[in-house]
A and B are shown apart, each in its own frame.
Chain A
Amino acid sequence: MKTEPDGRVTFTGEADLPPVAMSFASTAYNKTGSWKYLEPYHQDLTPPCNSVCLAGNDIVNVMRRIEAGDLREAALLLLETNPLPSVTGRVCPHPCEKPCNRKAMGGAVSIRALERFLGDWAAREGVLPSPVPEALAPGDGRSVAVVGSGPAGLSAAYFLRRAGFSPTVFEAARETGGLLRYGIPAYRLPNGVLDLEIQRLAGIGVRFETGVRLGKDFYLHDLATRHAAVVLAFGKNATRGLGIPGENLKGVWDGIDLLARAKAGKPPALGGEVAVIGGGNTAVDCARTALRLGGKATILYRRTRREMPAFKEEIEEAIEEGIRIEYLAAPVSLSRRPGGGIDLRCVRMALGEPDESGRARPVAVPGSEFTVAVDAVVKALGEGVDLGIVPENLRKGEWRVSCDERRRTPVDNVFACGDCAGDEGTVADAIRAGREAAHAVASTLLDRPYAPPNLTRDRGASAEVAKFKRFNRAYFREEAGVSPSHRPASERRADFREVALPLGEEEARAEAARCFKCGTCVRCDNCHVFCPDMAVTKTARGYEIAYDYCKGCGVCVQECPRAAIHLRRAP
């Protein structure tokens, strides 16, 4: 009898045959893989949340770690992409929750509330990102100047430090944080929260110089000669006026100025009736601030609710608190009212043809003027960029610093990011922009290809977004979420304490467990245990398919709960 290397047996004579016809050799010689015309393969897809997260957070894997109770690991992973999780966990408009596949089975996962939970935990525990900066060599400690300490500048400095550079952040204001400190009100983002996150940056060696202003205390040229590179992140540094008579009267406030004073604990006395002009976040925050200062606030907006650029959630909360919004109304002039107060003359608007922004253009209705008597008027019209502080060749149009998609300005080794560079105007986007700028600095100074990290891609996920219709629903049950609760409107309108309440650890773990882990292999073993051909084996890194035996039945694809296995034509 001969046994071939592949396990095949040949009998050479009668004497080889066993006494009874009982099989003794394995069937493994038989490569049944040749039967198939389709073959499965493991490939993680991009979860819908990850696909829209501006900060680029690896949300699903953070959820997995929270669910497992590995808060430190979860925090470290989040800190890979987001230096300010306690901030975004409060103020990010959470586009991630919108396409959440969980929506259909008990509501979207409260990703933002979980981010806040984790960010606060990390801040309390003093978690620093790993690896610790001492262990970093590439940037060689070269000095980089960052102008502005808003989220874009903080993010740039954080990622520069983590790449081995020595960033110094130059900030014009007395304290760091930009709009996070001077814009977004305390009932949404208390300063103490921001302080802890900035401490983390200081903890890894980011240096800060406050009270120094580009264009006054120093110029770009000075920075460029003293540092290996400069990152401009000075945000929207100018306010815009109404351009109507009377806008500088006493009792007329600039919105950002009002917010900054309120946040600093030195709010002005506004009086009873406050009119806020505008429709963006600044307007809504000013109205809610005026309300908390004891006034009655009305927002005047020249378009309708549909066109309002403020976050929907903020508008809803403001209305809950009793703020009135007067739509289709625009101010025409302001005048002093005899006996105190201001006469605000307005005109009714109607929506006309769409303008360049695609929104319907408001047009004044002739003869529709009316006057409201108020005690104060807040101008919350959005902010602009004063480009006077940078050389002419860095100015792009009226409102932004010129930079390419790699964040390079026309001046060598000068980069720009955040609101001043025309980014989207959210904290999360400023964080992404800062990270990109840090990578641009590293790639330029270290002469490396520019490849800002993309955690989803770097993890090996394909760009295809995981869709619920490809999931195996048998593995998921309808489960209601722990929607983060808010303090009642009647209570919260009277103070500046936080509106949204935090999640507890139990709640957070339960909520993270609701996450489907879309398109992400969680090593559930279904493919391994259900394979009728035993062709899927477990490895240290996941699974391996023995194509020599796989018959291409597709059971593993069907039984993968979350679409991390796919079929393709067999070669």
Chain B
Amino acid sequence: MRTDCPDRPHFRLPNGGEIVSRGHLACPGCGIMPAIRFAMKVLGRRTVIVAPACCYAVVDGPFPYSAAGVPFLHSAFEAAASFASGVRAGLDTTGVADVTVLAWAGDGGTFDIGLQSLSAAAERNENMIYVCYDNEAYMNTGIQRSSATPRGAWTTTTPKGATKTERKKDLGAIMAAHRVPYFATATIAYLEDLTRKFAKARDLGGFRMLHLYAPCPTGWKADARHMVELSRLAVRTRVFPLYEVHDGTRFEVTLDPETAPLRDYLALQGRFAEMGDAGVAAMEDEIRDRWEILQRRAASSGRA
């Protein structure tokens, strides 16, 4: 496990050409874009993307335009994993073996409405990479809460005076329980870690999943320029620990940089403006609790 926070978070990045193109419709400072850009650099042009309804499905461009640079298929909101399973089956049937099927879905489409198709595909160990880019709400339709929205956050459905009271769903535990070959968390501030995980996923078979933390300045009421800063602080505050799970049993924390106070992270986001001291303390407890569980899982995997 690396504990440092290198000056160059990306000093050994894939240096192939760009696949994702400019002109996409993402908001200024969108946290999805560096992620998909570098994911595609790792996965290469022999990739098919399946995206359910979500921000990225929109920002990728209106027909006949697409920023993804590879075949890009739109699925129903709840169906990314089943749609991708179908694409895989089609490729296999026609004898195309060298194409990676990549499902690229938001947190709403993964934690909530798409969970059943996701669970089914994971259970069948479908040969695909499923990416959930997590911006912690339904951003595309106007910032509604999802089960990935953290406790204490403002959204349009958990408005002022009634911010979210439920904790964020533990996606990693759910996927580990499916015993999928590979599950990892990653985020753009640590691009080297992110691309390494994409490369690992690419080189394994079966159902592989990445949970990407993707700051949304628009939906989080943050300054667009803080996109990477938020990504970094999420890791440094352990709001979003970087770890991976092999075969659902072997947990490993991959990077644990110097910690930062939670308040530094919260202060950059208007969505937490209403969170009082008690709220911050509760969130700190929750973070500690989750971190300890992760540490225990890693320890019992014999690779803390």
**Most chain A CB atoms below 10 A, which of B8, B228, B229:** B228
Cβ A558 vs Cβ B229 within 8 A? yes
| A158 adjacent to chain B (CB < 8 Å) | no
Cβ B33 vs Cβ A524 within 8 A? no
CA distance A321 to B69 in the complex (A): 73
A147 to chain B, nearest CB (A): 50
Cβ A532 vs Cβ B30 within 8 A? yes
CA distance A358 to B232 in the complex (A): 51
- Write out the residue numbers on chain B whose beta carbons fall within 8 Å of the beta carbon of A533: 22, 24, 26, 28, 33
Binding site secondary structure of chain B? loop
**Interface stretch (choices B57-65, B94-102, B134-142, B285-293):** B57-65
Out of B28, B34, B60, B74, name the residue touching A551 (CB < 8 Å): B28
Cβ B22 vs Cβ A535 within 8 A? yes
- The chain A residue with its CB closest to the CB of B231 is A530
CA distance A59 to B69 in the complex (A): 45
CA distance A529 to B69 in the complex (A): 18
Out of A29, A525, A526, A558, name the residue touching B23 (CB < 8 Å): A29
- Write out the residue numbers on chain B whose beta carbons fall within 8 Å of the beta carbon of A555: 29, 224-225, 227-228
Of the four ranges (under 10, 10 to 19, 20 to 34, 35 or more), the interface on chain B belongs to: 35 or more
Known contacts A27-B61, A534-B37, A555-B228; A561 and B21 CB within 8 A of each other? no
B258 to chain A, nearest CB (A): 8
| B191 adjacent to chain A (CB < 8 Å) | yes
Out of B21, B31, B226, name the residue touching A27 (CB < 8 Å): B21
Known contacts A474-B232, A555-B228; A28 and B28 CB within 8 A of each other? no
CA distance A27 to B22 in the complex (A): 6
Cβ A32 vs Cβ B224 within 8 A? no
Which 6 A/B pairs are nearest by Cβ-Cβ distance? Answer: A554-B225, A23-B66, A27-B23, A30-B23, A553-B28, A532-B33
- The chain A residue with its CB closest to the CB of B10 is A529
- Write out the residue numbers on chain B whose beta carbons fall within 8 Å of the beta carbon of A28: 21-23
CA distance A553 to B65 in the complex (A): 23
* B residues 239-264 touching A (CB-CB < 8 Å): 258
CA distance A532 to B66 in the complex (A): 16
Known contacts A27-B65, A559-B228, A561-B7; A552 and B22 CB within 8 A of each other? no
| B199 adjacent to chain A (CB < 8 Å) | no
Cβ A558 vs Cβ B226 within 8 A? yes
Cβ B73 vs Cβ A553 within 8 A? no
In the complex, 28 of the A-B residue pairs with CB atoms within 8 angstroms, ordered by the A residue number, are: A9-B64, A18-B64, A21-B74, A22-B73, A23-B63, A24-B64, A24-B66, A25-B66, A26-B69, A27-B25, A27-B61, A28-B23, A30-B23, A474-B5, A474-B232, A524-B7, A529-B13, A529-B191, A530-B227, A532-B26, A532-B28, A532-B31, A532-B227, A533-B24, A534-B22, A553-B225, A554-B29, A561-B7
For the complex with contacts A27-B61, A30-B25, 20 further pairs of A-B residues with Cβ separation under 8 Å are A9-B64, A22-B72, A23-B65, A24-B66, A26-B65, A26-B66, A27-B22, A27-B23, A27-B60, A31-B23, A32-B22, A529-B38, A529-B191, A532-B33, A533-B28, A534-B22, A535-B22, A551-B28, A554-B223, A554-B224
B194 to chain A, nearest CB (A): 11
| B205 adjacent to chain A (CB < 8 Å) | no
- Write out the residue numbers on chain A whose beta carbons fall within 8 Å of the beta carbon of B64: 9, 18, 23-25
| A546 adjacent to chain B (CB < 8 Å) | yes
B136 to chain A, nearest CB (A): 18
- The chain B residue with its CB closest to the CB of A535 is B22
Cβ A534 vs Cβ B20 within 8 A? yes
Known contacts A23-B66, A529-B13; A553 and B227 CB within 8 A of each other? yes
Cβ A530 vs Cβ B228 within 8 A? yes
A230 to chain B, nearest CB (A): 51
What residues make up the interface of A, taking CB atoms closer than 8 Å to B?
Answer: 9, 18, 21-32, 35-36, 472, 474-477, 524-526, 529-535, 546, 549, 551-555, 557-559, 561
CA distance A77 to B49 in the complex (A): 51
- Write out the residue numbers on chain A whose beta carbons fall within 8 Å of the beta carbon of B73: 22
* B residues 5-48 touching A (CB-CB < 8 Å): 5, 7-8, 10, 13, 18, 20-34, 37-38
CA distance A529 to B60 in the complex (A): 19
- Write out the residue numbers on chain A whose beta carbons fall within 8 Å of the beta carbon of B65: 9, 23, 25-27, 29-30
A7 to chain B, nearest CB (A): 8
CA distance A567 to B46 in the complex (A): 38
- The chain A residue with its CB closest to the CB of B69 is A26
**Most chain A CB atoms below 10 A, which of B18, B65, B258:** B65
**Most chain A CB atoms below 10 A, which of B22, B31, B225, B226:** B22
- Write out the residue numbers on chain A whose beta carbons fall within 8 Å of the beta carbon of B60: 23, 27
- Write out the residue numbers on chain B whose beta carbons fall within 8 Å of the beta carbon of A476: 7
CA distance A559 to B38 in the complex (A): 17
Known contacts A524-B7, A532-B34, A557-B225; A36 and B28 CB within 8 A of each other? yes
- The chain A residue with its CB closest to the CB of B236 is A474
| B159 adjacent to chain A (CB < 8 Å) | no
Cβ B8 vs Cβ A525 within 8 A? yes
- The chain B residue with its CB closest to the CB of A533 is B22
Known contacts A529-B13, A532-B26, A553-B227; A27 and B67 CB within 8 A of each other? yes
